[in-house]
Amino acid sequence: MPSELAKRILQVKGAQFSEEEMKSLPDGKGWGWLYNNDTYMPKSRLKEICFTGFSIKEKYALEERAVSVGFNPVRSVTKHLKYLCVGPNAGPVKLQKAKERNVKIITVDEFEGIVKYRNKN
């Protein structure tokens, strides 16, 4: 079952899940549906993602996973960036730029939820 926050957002966004489907819906799949059905930004912006605050090895692995599900990893906060995935050593400059540009800031767990959802669909 999705977290209470995800469940409320799913209801507000008009997700067409029955009560039974909602009860059996994993949290990651719920968040994945939300990220993939974002109505506030054009679909072309769904593809850019930036990873910050990770070791080089971790960042490379995350970028490979992102590419495998249709994202275009970038190295900086661009005007078309959709997601900034932050790790434990995220720098304040990228975070500030992302906030100024209304980029969605997500954790690795949220990113993995998106990946799992996209792999199932």
Residue-wise pLDDT tens for the chain (121 aa)? 777 777 777 776 777 778 888 888 887 777 777 777 655 444 454 589 999 999 999 999 999 999 888 888 999 999 889 999 999 999 999 999 999 999 999 999 999 998 888 877 6
Cβ-contact 102, 82 below 8 angstroms: no
The rounded distance, in Å, linking the Cα atoms of 91 and 46 is 23
Cβ distance 52 to 81 under 8 Å? no
What token pair was written down for 36?
A: 């993939």
**How, if at all, do strands 72-74 and 104-106 pair?**
unpaired
Does the predicted TM-score (pTM) go above 0.75? no
Residue 25 DSSP symbol: -
In this structure, are residues 81 and 101 in contact, taking their beta carbons and an 8 Å threshold?
yes
